[in-house]
Amino acid sequence: MTNPSETTTHRYTPELATEIEQRWQKYWIDNGTFDAANPVGKLATDKPLPKDKLFVQDMFPYPSGAGLHVGHPLGYIATDVFARYNRMLGKNVLHTLGYDAFGLPAEQYAIQTGTHPRTTTMANIENMRRQLGMLGLGHDQRRSVATTDPEFYKWTQWIFLQIYNAWFDEDQNKARPVSELIAELEAGSRTTKDGAVYNDLSKAEQAKAVDEFRLVYLSNSTVNWCPGLGTVLANEEVTADGRSDRGNFPVFRKNLSQWMMRITAYSDRLLDDLELLDWSDKVKSMQRNWIGRSRGAEVTFDAQGHDIRVFTTRPDTLFGAEYMVLAPEHELVKELASTEDYGADINTKWTYGKSNPQDAIDAYLKDIASKTELERQENKEKTGVFIGAYATNPVNGKQIPIFIGDYVLMGYGTGAIMAVPAHDTRDYEFATEFELPITEVVSGGDITEEAYTGEGTVVNSANDEGLDINGLSKSDAIAKTIEWLESKDLGVEKIQYKLRDWLFARQRYWGEPFPIVYDEDGQAHALPESMLPIELPEVEDYQPVSFDPDDADSEPQPPLAKAKEWIAVELDLGEGTKTYYRDANVMPQWAGSSFYQLRYIDPVNDEAVVDIENERYWTGPQPDVHGPNDPGGVDLYVGGVEHAVLHLLYSRFWHKVLYDLGHVTSKEPYRRLYNQGYIQAYAYTDSRGIYVPAAEVEEKDGKFFYNG
C-alpha cells in the first residue's frame, strides 16, 4: 500500500497554519490594523477620521479558571466578522474586549484555595487572552480593560459620586446636582421632604434633609443574609429553596443598613425610552414586566388611629375587601399587634397555635426567616397570623381583621394589601384556609368554587355616603370610586411600579471600595474626586467572618472591617483634620459593567471617564442616519438574553444620570442589541436544581452521579 505522505501534493500542514497565523497576528499588532482612532486625546490621529464609524461591543466575560467555553466564540466570531466587513468598507471600527473581574466567584475560589483573588483573577485573564489570541480576533488591544484595574474602578467610584451628589427633580424629570438643590432650599424656593424650613435646621439636620433627596442613600433594607458564607447575597445567588448556590447554606431575610440607588426615580423614562431602541420585542417585554408600571389608587384604611395605605389596581372591588394582610416586616405590625390574649371567640386557625398575638407573631417570623421572596410568592398553602387588631373598610365602615402573611412583600406597593377573596386567587386561598368571608362584587363567576377574576359588572357595591357603582363596567367603576375616595380624603389616584431601588452594597472583599467615609457621629461624607481611586487594600485575611449556618440572628461583618489600618483614616474634609472611617462594604459586581462602553471609547483618559467629543463621535445620536428620535449608543451590542433585565437596566440607569448631568450626549448606552442564542449540550443539576459541571458527572447503570 502506498504511504499517503508520499502522494501528498500540497504543503499546508498544522505547523504551517500556525506559522501563518502567528505571522499575520504579529503584523496586525505591529501595524495597528485593528486600532480605531479617536477625534481627540491620546488615541487621536493626525489623519481625518471617516464620518462613517461603527462601535461593536460584546458583553464582556467573567475570567473564570475554566477559561473560554464554546459559547464565547459563538458571539465573538460573529461580531469579529461583522467588524472586519465594515472595516473593509472604509469605516472606522471600534471593537475590543475587556473583563468583568470583580465578584463573589473569585472570592470564594480564593477562600477555598488560599490564593489571593487578585492572583487568580489576573492568571485567569492572561489565560483567556491567550485563548482569544489563538482565535485571531480583530480587537483593538489598546482599549481592553478589566474592572479590577484601579485605573478602571477609579471611574466606577467617580460615577458613584456623581449619582450620590445628584437628586431627581420631578418637575424637570431629570437628575440635577445636589449643590443646586441646596441653593433652592436655602433660598426657600424648595422645601424639605417633611416641610421643615431648611435654614432653621441645625447643620446635622440639614445634611439629613439633603440625604433624603439623593439618588444614593442609606436605608434599612431587607437582604439575603447567609451566615455560612458570612455575606449578603443577591437574589440571583439564592436557590429556589432558600439556600446559597455556593455551599448550599441556609439564607435568611434580614434588615440591614445598606446603600441603595434610587433607580425607581427613572421608572417612566426607562419604560418609555424602550420605544427608541432597536432591541427585540422579547427583551423589551422583559424590562417592561420587571419595571411593572400599573395605574390604580392608594387607599387609606384606619386601624386604631393608624393609617394603613394600600395600593390597588382594582379600587372598584373595595366593597369586597374582607380582611387585610401586612408584610411580616411592615413597620406597623409592632404598633398594632394586641398585647391581650386571643379571645375564646377567635378562630384557632388564626392564632398559629399560640395564646396571644405577640407569641404568634414571633413564632411566625422565626419560621419564615429563611424563605426567599420567590418562595413567598409561590402558589401554595397560605400561612399567616391574626395580629389582634382590626381596620375600617373606608367604603362601608366594616371592621375587618388584620393578618400578617408571607405572601405579602415590603418591596412592592406599600407592604399591605386589602384582600378581596372573591376576585383574587391568592386571597381566595387565604380566606378559605382561615375561614374568612367571601363577598362577590363582580358578577360573572361561581365564587363557591374559586375566585372569579374575569370581566363583569359590579354588584353589592353601594353605601349611604354617595358611592354607588352597581351595574357599572370595570373602568367606569374604578374612575367613580377614585373620585369618591379623593372627595372624602380617603385615597388618591396613583401609579405604582414593581421596580425597587437597587441594593448597592455587598459584605465582601473582592469589589470596588466606596468613596465614602463616616465621622464619629456616623454621618456619611463623600470623598473629593482628587482622592480617587480609593484602592482596595492588599490584605492577607480576606475571608468573611462566617457563623453557624443556622444562626439567623448573626450580624454581617464585612472582611474589610478587619483591615483596621485602612478603615480609620485621618482627613481634612474642610473642617480640619479628623479621624474618619471608611465603608467596609464593597460595590456589587454589576457596577463595573454599567458603564464599560465609555472606557472602551477613552481607556487611557485619566482626566475624565470619557471625553465628550470622543463619546459624541462613537455613541452620540445620529438623526441623519437613524432618524430624528435616535437616542445614540453603541451601534451593535451582542450578548446573552440572561442579561436582558438587570445588567441592561442598571446600565441604562447609570447612563441616563450621566446624560442628565451633561457627561454624555447619548440618552441610551446601547442603540441596537442582539442576543446570539446558545450552543446546546447536556446539562445536569444537583438536588437543589443548581447546574453542576458536566465533566464532574458520571453515569453508572443508567443513573447519574455528581462527583464534585
For residue 672, give the nearest of 126, 202, 284 by alpha carbon.
284
**Is residue 418 domain-resident?**
yes
454-479 pLDDT per residue, tens: 999 999 999 999 999 999 999 999 99
Q: What is the pLDDT of residue 105?
A: 79
Let me know whether 390 and 401 are in one domain: yes
**Is residue 355 domain-resident?**
yes
CATH of the domain at 430: 3.90.740.10
Q: What is the pLDDT of residue 511?
A: 95
d(CA 568, CA 579): 7
Q: What is the pLDDT of residue 52?
A: 94
For the chain, which ranges sit under pLDDT 50?
A: 1
Let me know whether 487 and 563 are in one domain: no
**Is residue 135 domain-resident?**
yes
Let me know whether 387 and 515 are in one domain: no
CATH of the domain at 61: 3.40.50.620
* pTM for this prediction: 0.84
**Is residue 162 domain-resident?**
no
Q: What is the pLDDT of residue 689?
A: 65
Let me know whether 240 and 118 are in one domain: no
Let me know whether 344 and 416 are in one domain: yes
Let me know whether 7 and 21 are in one domain: yes
Let me know whether 337 and 470 are in one domain: yes
Q: Which among 143, 169, 194 is the end of a domain? A: 143
Let me know whether 596 and 584 are in one domain: no
**Is residue 447 domain-resident?**
yes
Q: Which among 590, 620, 648 is the end of a domain? A: 590
Q: What is the pLDDT of residue 73?
A: 86
Number of domains in the chain: 5
Q: Which helix (H) or strand (E) holds 159?
A: helix 150-164
Which residues in 35-139 belong to E strands, given as ranges? 53-58, 92-96
**Is residue 404 domain-resident?**
yes
d(CA 422, CA 437): 9
Q: What is the pLDDT of residue 5?
A: 54
Let me know whether 407 and 444 are in one domain: yes
**Is residue 238 domain-resident?**
yes
Let me know whether 343 and 477 are in one domain: yes
Helix, strand, coil fractions of the chain, as percent rounded to 5: 35, 20, 45
Q: What is the pLDDT of residue 460?
A: 97
Angle among Cα 310, 315, 319 to the nearest 5 degrees reads 100
User: 693 lies in which domain range?
Assistant: 678-708
Q: Which among 114, 143, 172 is the end of a domain? A: 143
Let me know whether 556 and 647 are in one domain: no
Q: What is the pLDDT of residue 537?
A: 94
Q: Which helix (H) or strand (E) holds 259?
A: strand 252-261
Contact 312, 299 (CB under 8 A): yes
Q: What is the pLDDT of residue 268?
A: 96
d(CA 519, CA 587): 21
Q: What is the pLDDT of residue 683?
A: 79
Let me know whether 444 and 511 are in one domain: no
**Is residue 485 domain-resident?**
yes
Helices 71-88 + 117-135 axis angle, to 10: 50
